[in-house]
Structure 1
Amino acid sequence: MLRLFDYLEEVIATERISQLNNPPMLYTASEIMQELGYPESSLAQEPLDRAMHACAALQIPVNYNFKKVYLFKDGEMITDWQLSELATYLFMINCNPLNPVVAKAQLIFMMKDRV
């Protein structure tokens, strides 16, 4: 019985590591920018760069949380980024807080863990 328990603990630990190495990609940077009311997603590059630098500074593999994707939109191919939950958070807190929607989102992120 004890051996079975040890095996299950190992399976659970392996699954947790797998989830850290392959987090689900929830959003794209262009979707977030659209929700924030930005007319063009070219404004996403600075917060994306900052979010990636934050990941690297925390020694979290960037390629696990940011995936470059190519999409066809209006007959042309565009580059976008799929973001994990962590990447989405880092992206949002690095957007321009002068945008009232961004400021509200940043406040919601900050208050989320306090409630």
Structure 2
Amino acid sequence: MATYPIIPTSKSYGTPKAIEHFMEAVSQSYLIFYASDLLSDLGYSELSELNEGLARAVAICETVDIPVDENIKLVFRDNQAQLFQDWKLSRLSRYLLMVNGQPSNPTVGHTQVDMYYKLDKLNKTLSK
């Protein structure tokens, strides 16, 4: 009778830890943007200025049952020997951050208006 090595499993699901690590790596492969890289695009100087948009992006994901951890993740980075908090974002969460930022920000406003015109054009195309 053949014997098989015991594979460590997670207590909660019984899934082998190697598979859990693989699944986490796959889900994090979608996190390709840093929130701090959006600062200059949005005309902000501090990462804290993104908090309102990040909070809204998280709320939207939760409301429509999109896994937050697959779209937004807190990370720590270093810049010239200084550690700082940042966020890794998916394409979806980057977009949600762009349209849900501070309403007084011209880039946020332009992104929202651009979204309206694209949706309007799509609706007209589909209704033909």
TM-score over 0.5 for the alignment? yes
1:74 aligned residue (60, 67, 80): 80
Matched residue pairs, number? 96
More displaced stretch, 98-107 vs 56-65 = 98-107
1:99 maps to a residue whose letter is N
More displaced stretch, 67-76 vs 102-111 = 102-111
1:84 aligned residue (78, 86, 90): 90
CA contact (8 A) 1:67 1:82 kept: yes
Write out per-residue CA displacement over residues 36-90 of structure 1, whole angstroms, 9 at most, x where no aligned residue: 1111111111211111011011111100001222111232101111111111121
TM-score (normalised: structure 1): 0.72
- What is the CA–CA distance in structure 1 between the aligned matches of 2:116 and 2:49, rounded to whole Å? 23
Structural mapping, 1:21-100, within 5 Å: 22=27, 24-100=30-106
Q: Which runs of 5 or more structure 1 residues have no equivalent in the other structure?
A: 1-17
Q: Which has the larger Rg?
A: 2
Q: Which runs of 5 or more structure 2 residues have no equivalent in the other structure?
A: 1-22, 122-128
Give runs of ≥4 in structure 1 deviating > 4 Å. none
Higher helix proportion (structure 1 or 2): 1
- What is the CA–CA distance in structure 1 between the aligned matches of 2:115 and 2:32, rounded to whole Å? 16
Identity score, percent:
34
CA contact (8 A) 1:71 1:77 kept: yes
TM-score (normalised: structure 2): 0.65
- What is the CA–CA distance in structure 2 between the aligned matches of 1:41 and 1:76, rounded to whole Å? 15
- What is the CA–CA distance in structure 2 between the aligned matches of 1:85 and 1:113, rounded to whole Å? 18
